[in-house]
A and B are shown apart, each in its own frame.
Chain A
Amino acid sequence: MFPLILSNLSVRRHGKTVLGPIDLVIDQGGPTMVIGPNGSGKTTLLRVMHGIEHISEGTVDWAQPDHANHAYVFQSPVVLRRTVAENLSYPLSLINLPKLEINAAVEYWIERIGLGKVANRSATRLSGGERQKLAIARALIRNPEVLFLDEPCSNLDGQSTREIETLLLETATAGTRVIMATHDMGQARRLAADVIFMKSGRIAETGLAPDVFDAPQTPDLQAFLKGDILE
Protein backbone atom coordinates (compact mmCIF):
# COMPACT_ATOMS: atom_id res chain seq x y z
CA MET A 1 0.00 0.00 0.00
CA PHE A 2 2.75 2.47 0.94
CA PRO A 3 4.53 4.64 0.05
CA LEU A 4 1.91 7.20 -0.90
CA ILE A 5 3.44 9.76 -3.24
CA LEU A 6 1.86 13.14 -3.95
CA SER A 7 3.59 14.86 -6.87
CA ASN A 8 3.16 18.49 -7.86
CA LEU A 9 -0.36 18.33 -6.48
CA SER A 10 -2.72 21.30 -6.61
CA VAL A 11 -6.41 21.84 -5.89
CA ARG A 12 -8.08 24.97 -7.23
CA ARG A 13 -11.61 26.14 -6.53
CA HIS A 14 -13.19 29.00 -8.45
CA GLY A 15 -9.77 29.95 -9.83
CA LYS A 16 -8.17 30.12 -6.39
CA THR A 17 -5.51 27.64 -5.30
CA VAL A 18 -6.60 26.12 -1.98
CA LEU A 19 -3.93 23.44 -1.88
CA GLY A 20 -0.47 23.10 -3.36
CA PRO A 21 1.69 22.75 -5.15
CA ILE A 22 2.58 19.85 -2.89
CA ASP A 23 5.19 17.11 -3.09
CA LEU A 24 4.97 14.61 -0.29
CA VAL A 25 5.87 11.00 0.43
CA ILE A 26 4.06 9.14 3.22
CA ASP A 27 5.42 5.78 4.29
CA GLN A 28 4.47 3.17 6.86
CA GLY A 29 4.58 4.27 10.49
CA GLY A 30 2.55 6.97 12.12
CA PRO A 31 0.28 8.10 13.53
CA THR A 32 0.79 11.19 11.39
CA MET A 33 -0.71 14.45 12.61
CA VAL A 34 -1.49 17.15 10.07
CA ILE A 35 -1.39 20.45 11.90
CA GLY A 36 -1.79 24.08 10.91
CA PRO A 37 -4.04 27.08 11.34
CA ASN A 38 -7.67 27.13 10.11
CA GLY A 39 -7.86 27.31 6.33
CA SER A 40 -4.34 26.00 5.85
CA GLY A 41 -5.56 23.07 3.71
CA LYS A 42 -5.46 20.20 6.24
CA THR A 43 -8.91 18.88 5.33
CA THR A 44 -8.33 19.26 1.59
CA LEU A 45 -5.03 17.37 1.88
CA LEU A 46 -6.73 14.45 3.67
CA ARG A 47 -9.60 14.41 1.18
CA VAL A 48 -7.16 14.37 -1.73
CA MET A 49 -5.24 11.44 -0.23
CA HIS A 50 -8.50 9.57 0.38
CA GLY A 51 -9.60 10.24 -3.18
CA ILE A 52 -12.77 12.21 -2.52
CA GLU A 53 -11.47 15.60 -3.65
CA HIS A 54 -11.03 16.62 -7.26
CA ILE A 55 -7.38 17.29 -8.12
CA SER A 56 -6.63 20.21 -10.43
CA GLU A 57 -3.04 19.23 -11.13
CA GLY A 58 -0.49 16.57 -10.17
CA THR A 59 -0.88 12.98 -9.04
CA VAL A 60 -1.61 10.85 -5.98
CA ASP A 61 0.05 7.45 -6.30
CA TRP A 62 -0.31 4.53 -3.94
CA ALA A 63 2.22 1.72 -4.13
CA GLN A 64 -0.66 -0.64 -4.93
CA PRO A 65 -3.19 0.78 -7.37
CA ASP A 66 -6.10 -0.91 -5.58
CA HIS A 67 -6.44 1.47 -2.68
CA ALA A 68 -10.09 1.05 -1.85
CA ASN A 69 -9.32 -0.08 1.67
CA HIS A 70 -9.28 3.40 3.17
CA ALA A 71 -11.65 4.87 5.66
CA TYR A 72 -12.38 8.46 6.51
CA VAL A 73 -13.87 10.05 9.60
CA PHE A 74 -15.32 13.50 9.08
CA GLN A 75 -15.10 16.45 11.43
CA SER A 76 -18.87 16.46 11.90
CA PRO A 77 -19.74 12.79 12.27
CA VAL A 78 -22.26 11.66 9.69
CA VAL A 79 -24.62 9.07 11.15
CA LEU A 80 -27.08 7.20 9.01
CA ARG A 81 -30.71 7.51 10.06
CA ARG A 82 -30.66 3.97 11.34
CA THR A 83 -29.98 2.23 14.61
CA VAL A 84 -26.49 2.21 16.09
CA ALA A 85 -26.06 -1.46 15.13
CA GLU A 86 -27.29 -0.82 11.58
CA ASN A 87 -24.82 2.05 11.23
CA LEU A 88 -22.03 -0.38 12.04
CA SER A 89 -23.28 -3.12 9.75
CA TYR A 90 -23.78 -0.76 6.81
CA PRO A 91 -20.19 -0.75 5.41
CA LEU A 92 -20.07 -4.55 5.62
CA SER A 93 -23.44 -5.01 3.95
CA LEU A 94 -22.13 -2.95 1.01
CA ILE A 95 -19.51 -5.61 0.32
CA ASN A 96 -22.02 -8.45 0.77
CA LEU A 97 -20.35 -10.08 3.73
CA PRO A 98 -22.26 -13.09 5.15
CA LYS A 99 -24.78 -12.10 7.82
CA LEU A 100 -23.03 -14.13 10.53
CA GLU A 101 -19.74 -12.33 9.96
CA ILE A 102 -21.49 -8.96 9.94
CA ASN A 103 -23.23 -9.72 13.23
CA ALA A 104 -20.00 -10.85 14.87
CA ALA A 105 -18.14 -7.71 13.74
CA VAL A 106 -20.99 -5.43 14.86
CA GLU A 107 -21.13 -7.14 18.25
CA TYR A 108 -17.38 -6.74 18.72
CA TRP A 109 -17.27 -3.07 17.77
CA ILE A 110 -20.41 -2.04 19.57
CA GLU A 111 -18.99 -3.37 22.83
CA ARG A 112 -15.57 -1.91 22.10
CA ILE A 113 -16.98 1.61 21.83
CA GLY A 114 -19.28 1.08 24.81
CA LEU A 115 -22.58 1.53 22.97
CA GLY A 116 -23.98 -1.94 23.63
CA LYS A 117 -26.87 -0.59 25.65
CA VAL A 118 -28.07 1.65 22.84
CA ALA A 119 -27.44 -0.80 19.98
CA ASN A 120 -31.05 -0.73 18.83
CA ARG A 121 -31.66 2.97 19.29
CA SER A 122 -31.56 5.51 16.51
CA ALA A 123 -28.00 6.80 16.01
CA THR A 124 -29.37 10.31 15.51
CA ARG A 125 -30.17 10.37 19.23
CA LEU A 126 -26.57 9.85 20.33
CA SER A 127 -24.45 12.59 21.91
CA GLY A 128 -21.62 14.23 19.92
CA GLY A 129 -18.97 12.03 21.54
CA GLU A 130 -20.98 8.84 21.00
CA ARG A 131 -21.62 9.78 17.38
CA GLN A 132 -17.93 10.30 16.75
CA LYS A 133 -17.04 6.97 18.41
CA LEU A 134 -19.68 5.32 16.24
CA ALA A 135 -18.26 7.00 13.13
CA ILE A 136 -14.75 5.78 13.98
CA ALA A 137 -15.97 2.24 14.68
CA ARG A 138 -17.93 2.26 11.41
CA ALA A 139 -14.76 3.36 9.63
CA LEU A 140 -12.70 0.64 11.31
CA ILE A 141 -15.15 -2.21 10.90
CA ARG A 142 -13.83 -3.03 7.42
CA ASN A 143 -10.30 -3.30 8.83
CA PRO A 144 -8.92 -0.47 6.68
CA GLU A 145 -5.20 -0.25 6.03
CA VAL A 146 -5.39 3.53 6.30
CA LEU A 147 -7.64 5.62 8.51
CA PHE A 148 -7.99 9.34 7.77
CA LEU A 149 -9.53 11.50 10.47
CA ASP A 150 -10.42 15.15 10.13
CA GLU A 151 -10.35 16.80 13.56
CA PRO A 152 -12.43 14.02 15.11
CA CYS A 153 -12.33 15.51 18.61
CA SER A 154 -13.24 19.11 17.89
CA ASN A 155 -16.21 20.13 20.07
CA LEU A 156 -15.95 17.02 22.25
CA ASP A 157 -15.55 16.93 26.01
CA GLY A 158 -12.39 15.65 27.72
CA GLN A 159 -13.79 12.19 28.50
CA SER A 160 -14.87 11.55 24.90
CA THR A 161 -11.57 12.91 23.57
CA ARG A 162 -9.62 10.60 25.86
CA GLU A 163 -11.68 7.56 24.79
CA ILE A 164 -11.22 8.38 21.12
CA GLU A 165 -7.49 8.94 21.51
CA THR A 166 -7.15 5.58 23.26
CA LEU A 167 -9.07 3.92 20.46
CA LEU A 168 -6.86 5.58 17.84
CA LEU A 169 -3.63 4.56 19.56
CA GLU A 170 -4.88 0.96 19.81
CA THR A 171 -5.85 1.10 16.14
CA ALA A 172 -2.41 2.37 15.15
CA THR A 173 -0.73 -0.30 17.28
CA ALA A 174 -2.87 -2.94 15.56
CA GLY A 175 -1.36 -1.89 12.24
CA THR A 176 -3.77 0.60 10.71
CA ARG A 177 -1.99 3.66 9.33
CA VAL A 178 -3.56 6.67 11.05
CA ILE A 179 -3.36 10.07 9.36
CA MET A 180 -5.23 12.77 11.23
CA ALA A 181 -5.77 16.51 11.01
CA THR A 182 -5.96 18.39 14.27
CA HIS A 183 -5.66 21.94 15.51
CA ASP A 184 -5.24 20.75 19.10
CA MET A 185 -1.50 20.87 19.79
CA GLY A 186 -1.88 18.90 23.02
CA GLN A 187 -3.57 16.11 21.10
CA ALA A 188 -0.94 16.26 18.36
CA ARG A 189 1.80 15.87 20.98
CA ARG A 190 -0.01 12.95 22.63
CA LEU A 191 -0.65 11.01 19.43
CA ALA A 192 1.91 11.95 16.79
CA ALA A 193 4.81 9.84 15.63
CA ASP A 194 5.39 12.29 12.79
CA VAL A 195 3.94 15.65 11.83
CA ILE A 196 3.00 17.59 8.72
CA PHE A 197 2.68 21.33 9.30
CA MET A 198 0.63 23.23 6.74
CA LYS A 199 0.22 26.89 6.06
CA SER A 200 -1.65 28.66 3.24
CA GLY A 201 -2.33 25.43 1.36
CA ARG A 202 1.27 24.29 1.34
CA ILE A 203 3.40 21.98 3.44
CA ALA A 204 5.64 24.25 5.47
CA GLU A 205 7.46 21.61 7.51
CA THR A 206 7.48 17.86 8.12
CA GLY A 207 9.36 15.61 10.49
CA LEU A 208 9.28 13.25 13.42
CA ALA A 209 7.15 14.52 16.29
CA PRO A 210 9.99 15.18 18.80
CA ASP A 211 11.97 17.13 16.18
CA VAL A 212 9.00 19.17 15.02
CA PHE A 213 7.72 20.02 18.49
CA ASP A 214 11.06 20.55 20.22
CA ALA A 215 13.12 22.08 17.43
CA PRO A 216 10.85 23.62 14.78
CA GLN A 217 12.82 24.86 11.78
CA THR A 218 10.53 27.43 10.19
CA PRO A 219 9.49 30.72 11.80
CA ASP A 220 5.86 29.92 10.95
CA LEU A 221 5.89 26.66 12.90
CA GLN A 222 7.76 28.30 15.77
CA ALA A 223 5.09 31.00 15.90
CA PHE A 224 2.26 28.44 15.58
CA LEU A 225 3.61 26.32 18.43
CA LYS A 226 3.95 29.44 20.58
CA GLY A 227 0.29 30.07 19.98
CA ASP A 228 0.71 33.13 17.77
CA ILE A 229 -1.96 33.92 15.19
CA LEU A 230 -0.66 33.16 11.70
CA GLU A 231 -1.90 35.28 8.78
Chain B
Amino acid sequence: MNDITQGLLAALRLILTFDAELWEISLRSLKVSLTAVIIASAVAMPFGAFLAVKRFKYRRLVISIMNALMGLPPVVVGLIFYILLSRSGPFGVFGLLFTPWAMIIVQIVIITPIIASISHQATRELWAEYHDLLISLNTSKWQRIKTLIWDGRRNLLTAGLAGFGRAIGEVGAIMIVGGNIEHATRVLTTAIALETGKGDFALALGLGFVLIGLALFVNISIHWLSRTEREGRW
Protein backbone atom coordinates (compact mmCIF):
# COMPACT_ATOMS: atom_id res chain seq x y z
CA MET B 1 0.00 0.00 0.00
CA ASN B 2 2.91 2.27 0.85
CA ASP B 3 4.37 1.62 -2.61
CA ILE B 4 1.11 2.66 -4.26
CA THR B 5 0.97 5.88 -2.24
CA GLN B 6 4.60 6.55 -3.12
CA GLY B 7 3.74 5.85 -6.74
CA LEU B 8 0.84 8.30 -6.72
CA LEU B 9 3.05 10.95 -5.15
CA ALA B 10 5.78 10.26 -7.72
CA ALA B 11 3.24 10.62 -10.51
CA LEU B 12 2.00 13.92 -9.08
CA ARG B 13 5.56 15.19 -8.66
CA LEU B 14 6.46 14.27 -12.25
CA ILE B 15 3.38 15.98 -13.61
CA LEU B 16 3.49 19.08 -11.43
CA THR B 17 7.19 19.71 -12.08
CA PHE B 18 6.64 19.28 -15.83
CA ASP B 19 9.41 16.69 -15.84
CA ALA B 20 11.05 16.98 -19.26
CA GLU B 21 11.75 13.28 -19.63
CA LEU B 22 8.19 12.37 -18.65
CA TRP B 23 6.83 14.71 -21.32
CA GLU B 24 9.21 13.30 -23.90
CA ILE B 25 8.36 9.65 -23.33
CA SER B 26 4.65 10.38 -22.88
CA LEU B 27 4.52 12.24 -26.18
CA ARG B 28 6.48 9.45 -27.87
CA SER B 29 4.06 6.88 -26.44
CA LEU B 30 1.15 8.86 -27.81
CA LYS B 31 2.78 9.45 -31.19
CA VAL B 32 3.71 5.81 -31.70
CA SER B 33 0.37 4.39 -30.54
CA LEU B 34 -1.84 6.92 -32.31
CA THR B 35 0.10 6.49 -35.57
CA ALA B 36 -0.29 2.73 -35.28
CA VAL B 37 -4.01 3.04 -34.54
CA ILE B 38 -4.63 5.39 -37.48
CA ILE B 39 -2.79 3.16 -39.96
CA ALA B 40 -4.30 -0.06 -38.56
CA SER B 41 -7.81 1.45 -38.58
CA ALA B 42 -7.44 2.56 -42.20
CA VAL B 43 -6.83 -1.05 -43.15
CA ALA B 44 -8.84 -2.97 -40.56
CA MET B 45 -12.14 -1.06 -40.63
CA PRO B 46 -12.75 -1.37 -44.40
CA PHE B 47 -11.58 -4.99 -44.19
CA GLY B 48 -14.06 -5.75 -41.39
CA ALA B 49 -16.86 -4.11 -43.39
CA PHE B 50 -15.76 -5.96 -46.54
CA LEU B 51 -16.06 -9.27 -44.69
CA ALA B 52 -19.57 -8.23 -43.61
CA VAL B 53 -20.87 -7.49 -47.12
CA LYS B 54 -18.96 -9.89 -49.33
CA ARG B 55 -19.60 -13.62 -49.51
CA PHE B 56 -16.72 -15.70 -50.86
CA LYS B 57 -15.47 -19.24 -50.59
CA TYR B 58 -13.05 -19.02 -47.68
CA ARG B 59 -14.80 -16.18 -45.82
CA ARG B 60 -15.42 -18.17 -42.65
CA LEU B 61 -11.81 -19.34 -42.61
CA VAL B 62 -10.58 -15.75 -43.01
CA ILE B 63 -12.83 -14.61 -40.13
CA SER B 64 -11.59 -17.48 -37.94
CA ILE B 65 -7.96 -16.62 -38.66
CA MET B 66 -8.64 -12.92 -38.01
CA ASN B 67 -10.25 -13.73 -34.67
CA ALA B 68 -7.43 -16.10 -33.75
CA LEU B 69 -4.86 -13.40 -34.54
CA MET B 70 -6.37 -11.22 -31.83
CA GLY B 71 -4.49 -13.39 -29.39
CA LEU B 72 -1.17 -12.98 -31.19
CA PRO B 73 1.61 -13.04 -28.55
CA PRO B 74 3.31 -9.61 -28.77
CA VAL B 75 6.72 -10.97 -27.77
CA VAL B 76 6.65 -13.41 -30.67
CA VAL B 77 5.61 -10.61 -33.04
CA GLY B 78 8.47 -8.53 -31.69
CA LEU B 79 10.93 -11.36 -32.18
CA ILE B 80 9.82 -12.05 -35.74
CA PHE B 81 10.06 -8.36 -36.65
CA TYR B 82 13.42 -8.11 -34.93
CA ILE B 83 14.69 -10.78 -37.31
CA LEU B 84 12.99 -9.21 -40.32
CA LEU B 85 14.25 -5.70 -39.56
CA SER B 86 17.75 -6.56 -38.33
CA ARG B 87 20.67 -5.75 -40.63
CA SER B 88 20.92 -9.32 -41.88
CA GLY B 89 17.15 -9.62 -42.31
CA PRO B 90 15.18 -9.06 -45.52
CA PHE B 91 14.15 -5.52 -44.51
CA GLY B 92 17.41 -4.60 -42.81
CA VAL B 93 18.26 -2.24 -45.65
CA PHE B 94 15.58 0.22 -44.45
CA GLY B 95 17.39 0.70 -41.14
CA LEU B 96 14.17 0.62 -39.12
CA LEU B 97 15.27 -1.50 -36.17
CA PHE B 98 15.50 0.47 -32.92
CA THR B 99 13.48 3.35 -34.36
CA PRO B 100 9.93 4.47 -33.48
CA TRP B 101 8.79 3.18 -36.89
CA ALA B 102 9.76 -0.36 -35.93
CA MET B 103 7.60 0.07 -32.82
CA ILE B 104 4.73 1.41 -34.92
CA ILE B 105 4.99 -1.54 -37.31
CA VAL B 106 4.75 -4.18 -34.57
CA GLN B 107 1.88 -2.33 -32.93
CA ILE B 108 0.05 -2.25 -36.28
CA VAL B 109 0.52 -6.01 -36.61
CA ILE B 110 -0.74 -6.61 -33.07
CA ILE B 111 -3.80 -4.33 -33.17
CA THR B 112 -5.01 -4.75 -36.77
CA PRO B 113 -6.78 -8.09 -36.05
CA ILE B 114 -8.41 -6.58 -32.95
CA ILE B 115 -9.75 -3.55 -34.82
CA ALA B 116 -10.77 -5.68 -37.82
CA SER B 117 -12.60 -8.21 -35.68
CA ILE B 118 -14.57 -5.63 -33.69
CA SER B 119 -15.27 -3.69 -36.89
CA HIS B 120 -16.52 -6.84 -38.57
CA GLN B 121 -18.83 -7.60 -35.67
CA ALA B 122 -20.22 -4.05 -35.69
CA THR B 123 -20.69 -3.78 -39.45
CA ARG B 124 -22.14 -7.30 -39.71
CA GLU B 125 -25.01 -6.32 -37.43
CA LEU B 126 -25.54 -3.11 -39.36
CA TRP B 127 -25.40 -5.00 -42.65
CA ALA B 128 -28.18 -7.30 -41.46
CA GLU B 129 -30.28 -4.17 -40.87
CA TYR B 130 -29.33 -2.38 -44.11
CA HIS B 131 -29.01 -5.36 -46.45
CA ASP B 132 -32.33 -5.13 -48.29
CA LEU B 133 -32.25 -1.33 -48.53
CA LEU B 134 -28.73 -1.11 -49.94
CA ILE B 135 -29.37 -3.94 -52.41
CA SER B 136 -32.62 -2.24 -53.40
CA LEU B 137 -30.78 1.05 -54.01
CA ASN B 138 -28.45 -0.76 -56.40
CA THR B 139 -25.34 0.22 -54.45
CA SER B 140 -21.87 -0.98 -55.39
CA LYS B 141 -19.78 -3.04 -52.96
CA TRP B 142 -17.63 -0.02 -52.19
CA GLN B 143 -20.67 2.18 -51.54
CA ARG B 144 -21.99 -0.45 -49.12
CA ILE B 145 -18.67 -0.59 -47.27
CA LYS B 146 -18.51 3.21 -47.07
CA THR B 147 -22.09 3.38 -45.78
CA LEU B 148 -21.47 0.73 -43.12
CA ILE B 149 -18.29 2.46 -41.96
CA TRP B 150 -19.96 5.86 -41.75
CA ASP B 151 -23.18 4.71 -40.12
CA GLY B 152 -21.34 2.34 -37.81
CA ARG B 153 -18.83 5.00 -36.78
CA ARG B 154 -19.82 4.86 -33.14
CA ASN B 155 -19.01 1.17 -32.81
CA LEU B 156 -15.97 1.56 -35.03
CA LEU B 157 -14.72 4.27 -32.69
CA THR B 158 -14.89 1.67 -29.93
CA ALA B 159 -12.88 -0.68 -32.17
CA GLY B 160 -10.24 2.01 -32.68
CA LEU B 161 -10.09 2.77 -28.97
CA ALA B 162 -9.74 -0.94 -28.15
CA GLY B 163 -6.78 -0.98 -30.53
CA PHE B 164 -5.34 2.14 -28.91
CA GLY B 165 -5.69 0.62 -25.45
CA ARG B 166 -3.84 -2.46 -26.57
CA ALA B 167 -1.16 -0.43 -28.37
CA ILE B 168 -0.37 2.06 -25.61
CA GLY B 169 -0.14 -0.71 -23.03
CA GLU B 170 2.08 -2.91 -25.16
CA VAL B 171 5.61 -3.55 -23.87
CA GLY B 172 7.11 -6.86 -25.01
CA ALA B 173 7.23 -6.35 -28.76
CA ILE B 174 8.27 -2.69 -28.70
CA MET B 175 10.98 -3.43 -26.18
CA ILE B 176 12.48 -5.96 -28.64
CA VAL B 177 12.26 -3.87 -31.82
CA GLY B 178 12.63 -0.46 -30.18
CA GLY B 179 15.36 -1.29 -27.70
CA ASN B 180 14.14 1.19 -25.06
CA ILE B 181 16.80 3.70 -26.09
CA GLU B 182 16.77 6.95 -24.09
CA HIS B 183 15.66 9.99 -26.14
CA ALA B 184 14.97 7.71 -29.10
CA THR B 185 12.62 4.79 -28.50
CA ARG B 186 11.81 4.91 -24.79
CA VAL B 187 8.07 5.01 -24.15
CA LEU B 188 6.03 4.82 -20.95
CA THR B 189 5.69 1.03 -20.87
CA THR B 190 9.35 0.33 -21.57
CA ALA B 191 10.35 2.98 -19.01
CA ILE B 192 8.12 1.29 -16.44
CA ALA B 193 9.78 -2.07 -17.20
CA LEU B 194 13.22 -0.44 -16.85
CA GLU B 195 12.45 1.28 -13.53
CA THR B 196 10.90 -1.93 -12.15
CA GLY B 197 14.06 -3.79 -13.14
CA LYS B 198 16.14 -1.16 -11.33
CA GLY B 199 13.96 -1.58 -8.23
CA ASP B 200 12.56 1.97 -8.33
CA PHE B 201 8.99 0.90 -7.80
CA ALA B 202 7.74 4.35 -6.87
CA LEU B 203 8.89 5.86 -10.16
CA ALA B 204 7.65 2.80 -12.07
CA LEU B 205 4.23 3.15 -10.43
CA GLY B 206 4.27 6.89 -11.02
CA LEU B 207 4.85 6.30 -14.73
CA GLY B 208 2.12 3.64 -14.60
CA PHE B 209 -0.38 6.15 -13.24
CA VAL B 210 0.63 8.63 -15.93
CA LEU B 211 0.06 5.89 -18.52
CA ILE B 212 -3.41 5.13 -17.16
CA GLY B 213 -4.23 8.84 -17.08
CA LEU B 214 -3.03 9.26 -20.66
CA ALA B 215 -5.13 6.33 -21.90
CA LEU B 216 -8.21 7.70 -20.12
CA PHE B 217 -7.54 11.22 -21.43
CA VAL B 218 -7.33 10.02 -25.04
CA ASN B 219 -10.49 7.90 -24.70
CA ILE B 220 -12.51 10.71 -23.16
CA SER B 221 -11.15 13.28 -25.61
CA ILE B 222 -12.06 11.20 -28.64
CA HIS B 223 -15.55 10.53 -27.31
CA TRP B 224 -15.99 14.21 -26.56
CA LEU B 225 -14.59 15.40 -29.88
CA SER B 226 -16.78 12.91 -31.73
CA ARG B 227 -19.78 14.00 -29.68
CA THR B 228 -20.88 10.38 -29.30
CA GLU B 229 -22.86 11.11 -26.20
CA ARG B 230 -24.71 14.09 -27.59
CA GLU B 231 -28.26 13.71 -28.72
CA GLY B 232 -29.15 13.91 -32.37
CA ARG B 233 -26.63 13.02 -35.00
CA TRP B 234 -25.35 9.75 -33.56
Give the B-binding residues of A (Cβ under 8 A).
50, 52, 68, 70-72, 74, 78, 80-83, 90-91, 94, 120-122
Inter-chain contact B138/A80, CB cutoff 8 Å: no
Known: A82-B151, A94-B143. A52 touches B232 (CB 8 A): no
Pick from B13-21, B82-90, B127-135, B211-219 the stretch touching chain A: B127-135
Map CB proximity to A onto B146-180 as digits: 1 under 8 Å, 0 otherwise. 01001110000000000000000000000000000
Could you say which residues of chain A place their CB within 8 Å of the CB of B151?
A: 80-82
Could you say which residues of chain A place their CB within 8 Å of the CB of B133?
A: 74, 78, 80
Inter-chain contact A78/B130, CB cutoff 8 Å: yes
Choice from B129, B139, B143 contacting A78 with Cβ under 8 Å = B129
Choice from A74, A81, A90, A120 contacting B132 with Cβ under 8 Å = A74
Inter-chain contact A72/B136, CB cutoff 8 Å: yes
Which residue, of B129, B132, B139, has the highest number of chain A Cβ atoms within 10 A? B132
Choice from B137, B233, B234 contacting A94 with Cβ under 8 Å = B137
Choice from B126, B138, B139, B233 contacting A83 with Cβ under 8 Å = B233
Could you say which residues of chain A place their CB within 8 Å of the CB of B126?
A: 81
Question: In the complex, A74→B134 CA distance in Å?
Answer: 12
A to B CB contacts below 8 Å, 26 in the list: A52-B132, A52-B135, A52-B136, A68-B138, A72-B136, A74-B133, A74-B136, A78-B132, A78-B133, A80-B130, A80-B133, A81-B151, A81-B152, A81-B234, A82-B151, A83-B232, A83-B233, A90-B147, A91-B137, A94-B137, A94-B138, A94-B139, A120-B232, A121-B232, A122-B233, A122-B234
Question: In the complex, A90→B150 CA distance in Å?
Answer: 12
Q: Which residue of A lies closest to B150 (CB)?
A: A82
Q: Which residue of B lies closest to A70 (CB)?
A: B136
Which residue, of A71, A78, A120, has the highest number of chain B Cβ atoms within 10 A? A78
Known: A80-B151, A82-B151. A50 touches B136 (CB 8 A): yes
Could you say which residues of chain B place their CB within 8 Å of the CB of A68?
A: 138
Q: Which residue of B lies closest to A122 (CB)?
A: B232
Which residue, of B136, B139, B232, B234, has the highest number of chain A Cβ atoms within 10 A? B136
Could you say which residues of chain A place their CB within 8 Å of the CB of B233?
A: 82-83, 120, 122
Question: In the complex, A72→B126 CA distance in Å?
Answer: 19
Could you say which residues of chain A place their CB within 8 Å of the CB of B136?
A: 50, 52, 70-72, 74
Could you say which residues of chain B place their CB within 8 Å of the CB of A78?
A: 129-130, 132-133
Could you say which residues of chain B place their CB within 8 Å of the CB of A71?
A: 136
5 tightest A-B CB contacts, nearest first: A78-B133, A81-B151, A72-B136, A52-B135, A68-B138
Could you say which residues of chain A place their CB within 8 Å of the CB of B232?
A: 83, 120-122
A144 to chain B, nearest CB (A): 11
A103 to chain B, nearest CB (A): 18
Question: In the complex, A24→B36 CA distance in Å?
Answer: 59
Question: In the complex, A224→B209 CA distance in Å?
Answer: 73
Question: In the complex, A83→B137 CA distance in Å?
Answer: 18
Map CB proximity to A onto B178-193 as digits: 1 under 8 Å, 0 otherwise. 0000000000000000
Could you say which residues of chain A place their CB within 8 Å of the CB of B234?
A: 81, 122
Question: In the complex, A38→B132 CA distance in Å?
Answer: 20
Question: In the complex, A193→B46 CA distance in Å?
Answer: 47
Could you say which residues of chain B place their CB within 8 Å of the CB of A120?
A: 232-233
Q: Which residue of A lies closest to B129 (CB)?
A: A78
B119 to chain A, nearest CB (A): 16
Map CB proximity to A onto B193-234 as digits: 1 under 8 Å, 0 otherwise. 000000000000000000000000000000000000000111
